[in-house]
Homo-oligomer: A and B are copies of this chain.
Amino acid sequence: MPETPTAFQRGHDHDRCVRHALSAAADHCREAGLRLTPLRRKVLQAVWRSHHPLGAYEICDALVAEGDQVLPPTVYRALDFLERNGLVHRIASLNAFIGCNQMGRHSNGRYLICSDCGSVAELPPDELLERFAFEAGAMAFEARSVRLEAVGRCAACAAGTTGP
């Protein structure tokens, strides 16, 4: 899986993007009375810095590379916190995590997952998801989260600019 940015992420200032995400997360936590501890912040930063979804063990490695001694339970607990509070998403089909760019509306979401390069683009929830939640409600199913995952091939890979 290449480390290069994908079509969805290419051409932007990623450092700036990461800084923005972290400061937005800090604001969100302050307002909500949540504790964005140094560890949690580092985990969130590692996730945001990556151009593709990061597994828990990859996060471990990233923090260890920065000089922190971090073991899996620590990372998983930080990820629990971040996910519960809508700061990261777990992409179940990849066992990996991405930063959430729709803070607060984190229970619903739409994802485009490229099976070639592993990149994931998050689209905002739309009325399709709302409507599905409504239909489910009509069947007496109380939907807490509705997530749509499309697996396929991103524009960059289709264009052959990142692929083989």
A62 within 8 A of partner (CB)? no
B148 touches A152 (CB 8 A): no
A26: chain B residues at CB < 8 Å are none
Bound together, the chains give a CA A131 to CA B131 distance in angstroms of 14
Number of chain A interface residues as a range = 20 to 34
Q: Are B136 and A150 in contact (CB under 8 A)?
A: yes
In the docked arrangement, what's the CA distance between A129 and B114, Å?
17
Chain B residue contacts of A32, Cβ below 8 A: none
Chain B residue at smallest Cβ distance from A128: B128
* Closest Cβ–Cβ distance, residue A98 to chain B (whole Å): 15
Q: Are B153 and A139 touching (Cβ within 8 A)? A: no
> Complex Cα distance A143/B121, Å?
13
Tell me the smallest distance from the CB of A86 to a CB of chain B, in Å.
15
Q: Are B152 and A7 in contact (CB under 8 A)?
A: no
Asked if B147 and A149 sit within 8 Å, CB to CB, the answer is yes
Q: Determine if A133 and B158 form an interchain contact, defined as CB atoms under 8 angstroms apart.
A: no
Chain A 94-111 interface 0/1 with B at a Cβ cutoff of 8 Å (1 = within): 000000000000000010
With contacts A7-B140, A146-B148 known, what are 7 further pairs, Cβ within 8 A?
A: A139-B155, A140-B158, A141-B152, A141-B153, A144-B152, A145-B152, A146-B149
Give the top 5 A-B pairs by smallest Cβ distance, nearest first: A140-B155, A92-B92, A143-B152, A92-B93, A143-B150
